[in-house]
Structure 1
């Protein structure tokens, strides 16, 4: 039994938005491609034709065509991904940033490995260097300024 993709009928506003996406110099390639799939679908082209024109699989064509039929323009964008749960809450992240801003007692220079070991001991958790690096990377200047001004969140 052949797989059937949804029929696409566009409103004027949707068509304008899709055309804007394919003519834009700054739109992401994936949004360009998805917009092109939908515009070709609205011209009553079959997924097999669209796949050949755009150099994609029929499955990809059906996926975005059906997603557009269900969610309209919002269907062009990726769904939220859950990812791994947070290891530290916001207060703990602020405390880790504060640790990084303090001068070490024994070592002359902080290294990420030294800081990670200190975090492991303090929170009694198995944490990777990468997790600590990402906390520091995500810290913005207001976080650092708050720490310097001793406006760090206090755990209750």
Structure 2
């Protein structure tokens, strides 16, 4: 029996409408809601497009696609804008708001790298409070800057697929260990005693400190159980890394293959390490792509260690620091917590592709 329902509204766009929709969908100053609506309408205008196919492509629900298809058919471009709300009409026109948003995104003030509320208020003639509300409405934070780094590894695709495959579908009869070293861990002592927290007053410490040397923590994080094999050495050369591999070899049962996930630090690739791996055929090493330490789960574990022990720790000598490191690891291993990896290689590569597309559209 064929399904009965309302017929789909067909959309035919004029050249001006298509040009405007494309501009709205790509322009950085458009709100994300308007950009999504524009992409939905453009997709609906394609031959043989259905609500279901557009919803799948846009990753939205079918009712959402149907709503904007009908709104556009009834009111054209104006139908994609938000409905006016009851109450006193706004005292600032849409054009002035758009000017603030576009200026924030596409220009910089004189003698400054980014806008402040004061400089934008002076430039636009609006109050600093109004500028703050506009930026908050469009989630604009000119004072915040983040960083990113795109790997230039020619084998990036293959390495991502390899490492993520070990996380999501580990081999039978094997253990997967994320291996790295946290070097230059400093034993820091404050120049005055730390003042403890009191009601209405946070813990207080001096901004200066005294260094008492550095040490290195080698760690192998078991992705299945969350347990960690560790070793502490004062240096982090090939010799120390080989000693750590020997420790892993002793602690992992002989009947298991060992898959090691490492970064591209030169110590992990020296001829001595390669000879060691040849003599231990149950060990298989997998390298993460260049500039992709986020792919190694032990880095997340190091972040826990830093936040819970090192960031606010006070140590008067290296021995005290190393003792605290061992105690912290023992406590972790008493109740280990594996990390749940959910992203597939396809999702990671797709997100990277979208980032590269944004970079190419930025014109830089």
Select which of 13, 24, 43 maps to 1:40.
Answer: 43
Q: Does the alignment pair 1:17 with 2:20? A: yes
- Is there any run of 5+ residues in structure 1 with no aligned partner, and where? 86-136, 139-156
Once the two structures are TM-superposed, the CA of residue 26 in structure 1 deviates from its matched residue by 1.3
Q: Does the alignment pair 1:57 with 2:65? A: no
| TM norm structure 1 | 0.52
Give the 4+ runs in structure 1 shifted more than 3 A.
none
Q: Does the alignment pair 1:75 with 2:75? A: no
| TM norm structure 2 | 0.23
Once the two structures are TM-superposed, the CA of residue 22 in structure 1 deviates from its matched residue by 1.2
Matched with 1:144 is: none
Structure of greater relative contact order (alpha carbons < 8 Å, 6+ residues apart): 1
Q: Does the alignment pair 1:2 with 2:5? A: yes
The separation in 2 between residues aligned to 1:62 and 1:77, in whole angstroms, is 16
The separation in 2 between residues aligned to 1:3 and 1:19, in whole angstroms, is 28
The separation in 1 between residues aligned to 2:9 and 2:78, in whole angstroms, is 16
Matched with 2:34 is: 31
Q: Which has the higher helix share?
A: 1
- Is there any run of 5+ residues in structure 2 with no aligned partner, and where? 89-128, 131-364
Q: Quick check: which has more Rg, 1 or 2?
A: 2
Matched with 2:193 is: none
Cα deviation code 1:112-156 (max 9, x no counterpart): xxxxxxxxxxxxxxxxxxxxxxxxx78xxxxxxxxxxxxxxxxxx
Aligned length: 87
Once the two structures are TM-superposed, the CA of residue 77 in structure 1 deviates from its matched residue by 0.5
Once the two structures are TM-superposed, the CA of residue 36 in structure 1 deviates from its matched residue by 0.4
Once the two structures are TM-superposed, the CA of residue 38 in structure 1 deviates from its matched residue by 0.6
